[in-house]
A and B are shown apart, each in its own frame.
Chain A
Amino acid sequence: MRQIVFKLRDGALRSGAAEVPVDVSPLTPDKLFGEGEDEIKSTKVWWGNRQENVERIFEVSVSGDASGAEEVKVVFEGELRKVKRIGYEMSAGEIVAEGSVGMHCGARMRGGRITVNGSADCWAGCEMHGGTLIIEGDAGDNLCACYRGETTGMTGGTVVVKGNAGECIAQYMAGGEITVRGNADMLAGLDMKGGKIVIEGDAVMPGANMSGGEIIVKGKVIDMMPSFKYEETVTIDGEEYKKYRGDFAIGEKKAKGTLLIRS
């Protein structure tokens, strides 16, 4: 087992009155498992419009050995809100972020596990295909959605958000499962085609343009879509839910989405 710790140096991201984000997409178990300590420290990361050695920005410590990415644990420490693309495209191993993280955490992830001990900014788990993403705090907007122009978002994997989630989560979702313990803001599951979303709190206009998949809302629905059809009341785990089908705005043939709202 190998552990690599990146501790953000105080003030390392400061440039005048600004704090310029750093892109840590090269710092995944996949990319680092075979590298020596010196190589890891001199890995280039983009900080604004120039590349820097990772060591200039993070204190780096490496312990243990690994024969593959799955035996690597990467830990990020410090004030991580301006640290972007943690675990970008990772396929194996583990990443733990000790604090709230910047945008695109776990985006395009295919496997492995990311734990954020804080909140995650927008586009966490975007276009995720596999693996596990646990966010102890809140998730920002476009969680598990897709980048501009794509028409398929998350296709697989598991995501748990223990706090609230922002707008447009899981847009164009096609597979996998998302649980939000708190509330989800506007348009959860927009354009959803498959997979499952469980929102334990409230949701605003969930399921618009849904053509497949399932959304379960345990709290209130604010602004129910006017283009869903009530079908029946069903019982899940001893609780009664109203079951709706939609979205009829896209036509009856395509309206294969299921929206379950606890009554």
Chain B
Amino acid sequence: MGGVRVILISGRTLEQGTNLENKLSDEYMNATAVCELSERELEKLGLKGDGTERVRVRTSAGEIVVAAKKGEGYPEGVAFIPMGPWANAVVNGNTKGSGMPFFKGIEAEIEPTDDEIPSIYDLMRRYKE
């Protein structure tokens, strides 16, 4: 099963916002360790998008495993991860002289995986190494 190439954007969601000061909770992880994809992309990946399946998202900055979910309103070729540590694992830190990294419009490759979603603690442990 092949992957798909998408433009990845990150941004706010209500659930992400509600748990903003509760980031070590499961609710926050459920709200942000998610990749929303259009029906077309899900089809190509052979996924249902009910939140139980997982995908690996890879960019020039790194890769991350998150849950796959059907999103509404997305044009083909656009995927979304709510802002937060999972999204940032694949954001490039080069601000190109502006101070602002590219949180949106990142070229990414997405493929299904059986690997586990790293917990917030796993993620932070990675940085410490």
- Chain A positions within 8 Å of B, measured between CB atoms, are 122-123, 140-142, 166-168, 185
Would you give 14 A-B contacts (Cβ < 8 Å), ordered by A? A122-B97, A123-B97, A140-B97, A141-B96, A141-B97, A141-B98, A142-B97, A166-B96, A166-B97, A167-B96, A167-B97, A167-B98, A168-B97, A185-B96
Known contacts A166-B97, A167-B96, A167-B98; 11 further A-B pairs (Cβ under 8 A):
A122-B97, A123-B97, A140-B97, A141-B96, A141-B97, A141-B98, A142-B97, A166-B96, A167-B97, A168-B97, A185-B96
DSSP majority for the B interface?
loop
Number of interface residues of B (CB under 8 A): 3
For A185, what are the chain B residues with a Cβ–Cβ distance below 8 Å?
Answer: 96
For A122, what are the chain B residues with a Cβ–Cβ distance below 8 Å?
Answer: 97
Bound-state Cα–Cα, A122 to B96, Å: 8
CB-CB nearest 9 A-B residue pairs: A141-B97, A122-B97, A142-B97, A141-B96, A167-B96, A166-B96, A167-B97, A140-B97, A166-B97
Considering the complex, give the chain A residue whose CB is closest to the CB of B97.
Answer: A141
For B97, what are the chain A residues with a Cβ–Cβ distance below 8 Å?
Answer: 122-123, 140-142, 166-168
- Chain B positions within 8 Å of A, measured between CB atoms, are 96-98
For A168, what are the chain B residues with a Cβ–Cβ distance below 8 Å?
Answer: 97
Q: How many Å from the CB of B94 to the closest CB on chain A?
A: 9
For A166, what are the chain B residues with a Cβ–Cβ distance below 8 Å?
Answer: 96-97
For B96, what are the chain A residues with a Cβ–Cβ distance below 8 Å?
Answer: 141, 166-167, 185
Bound-state Cα–Cα, A122 to B98, Å: 10
Considering the complex, give the chain B residue whose CB is closest to the CB of A143.
Answer: B97
Considering the complex, give the chain B residue whose CB is closest to the CB of A103.
Answer: B97
Bound-state Cα–Cα, A13 to B77, Å: 45
For A123, what are the chain B residues with a Cβ–Cβ distance below 8 Å?
Answer: 97
For B98, what are the chain A residues with a Cβ–Cβ distance below 8 Å?
Answer: 141, 167
Q: How many Å from the CB of A188 to the closest CB on chain B?
A: 13
For A167, what are the chain B residues with a Cβ–Cβ distance below 8 Å?
Answer: 96-98
Considering the complex, give the chain A residue whose CB is closest to the CB of B95.
Answer: A141
Bound-state Cα–Cα, A251 to B58, Å: 43
Bound-state Cα–Cα, A167 to B98, Å: 10
Bound-state Cα–Cα, A123 to B97, Å: 8
Q: How many Å from the CB of B77 to the closest CB on chain A?
A: 17
Bound-state Cα–Cα, A140 to B96, Å: 8
